[in-house]
Amino acid sequence: MIQFNPMTLAFTVVMIALLNGCNATSYEPVKSEPTGTIVGQKKIHIDWTKIDTKSDVSIDNTPRDVDYPDHIVSLANAVNRPVADIYRHEMVYGSAEVQQFVDQVKAQLGDSYVDIYGNADGVPKYFIVTQQNVVADSYEYVIKKGELRGFSIAIEILPIADRSRAQMLDVYNSQEDIEKIDKIIKKYGGEMQIIAFTPIGFKIVIDTYFQKSLTPIRHKQVENELKQLTGVNVEVRQTGRLMF
């Protein structure tokens, strides 16, 4: 689940074209400060009992005997997956009851909430990315009302972020930052193609082109140098060259 910033993508393309003739020089670290310190802060524990009432509803994720909507059938055919699986994901993620439950989780997290994303197959699951002053946890919520009664959704709390989503995006959303990142890629003999953000692992992903593939050691070195520069986790992917 990679989220591209259209403005950043267009700007990256322009910047790469402009920077191809530049030589790598020294750089100053990108100024992207984490959202405060977590040292000494009290850890946040999600109190599930305050947001989920006891009930006699049992988990039942078996396929339902329903007339599946045409768009669900079309999507299932397009991705070659069981219609029942697509139906469950679409309905559970779109459930007002589920969204109300998630909103209450976010309320407990407060400013420590960072981002959320879901999985694509299996039992529906929300991954909630938080700052590091939250205790990692997991929970399975069972829908209690309506035609989705018995369907469940897993929740996993991932305290892996040290800044907000907006601050993470700011790392590469400027000419200055792109220039500095591009210089490091060039220093290792590569060309930056696309830069993007993904909440999966809460990191920046950079697609690059290297005429000669990086060795595993060099690959790790460039990722470490980019992390040192930006202060955030960076994944460098070696892909084909984009033609502008």
pLDDT, tens digit, 9 for 90 and up, residues 212-231:
999 999 999 999 999 888 88
User: In Å, what is the CA distance from 218 to each residue of 188, 192, 210, 225, 229?
Assistant: 8, 16, 12, 10, 16
Do 64 and 157 belong to one domain?
A: yes
Which pLDDT value is given to residue 1?
Answer: 52
Task: Judge whether 46 lies within some domain.
Answer: no
Q: Is the Cβ–Cβ distance between 201 and 233 less than 8 Å?
A: yes
Which pLDDT value is given to residue 146?
Answer: 92
DSSP strand pairing (190-198 vs 152-161):
unpaired
Task: Judge whether 68 lies within some domain.
Answer: yes
The total domain count for the chain is 2
Do 64 and 144 belong to one domain?
A: yes
- Summarize pLDDT for 173-217 with one digit per residue, the tens: 778 888 899 999 999 999 999 988 888 888 889 999 999 999 999
Domain boundary among 103, 131, 162: 162
Q: Inter-axis angle of helices 175-187 and 6-19, to 10 degrees? A: 50
**Could you tell me the pTM of the whole model?**
0.73
Task: Judge whether 223 lies within some domain.
Answer: yes
Helix (H, G, I), strand (E, B) or coil at 224: helix
Task: Judge whether 39 lies within some domain.
Answer: no
Domain range for 175 is 6-28+166-238
Do 64 and 120 belong to one domain?
A: yes
Domain boundary among 97, 132, 162: 162
Domain boundary among 110, 143, 162: 162
Task: Judge whether 40 lies within some domain.
Answer: no
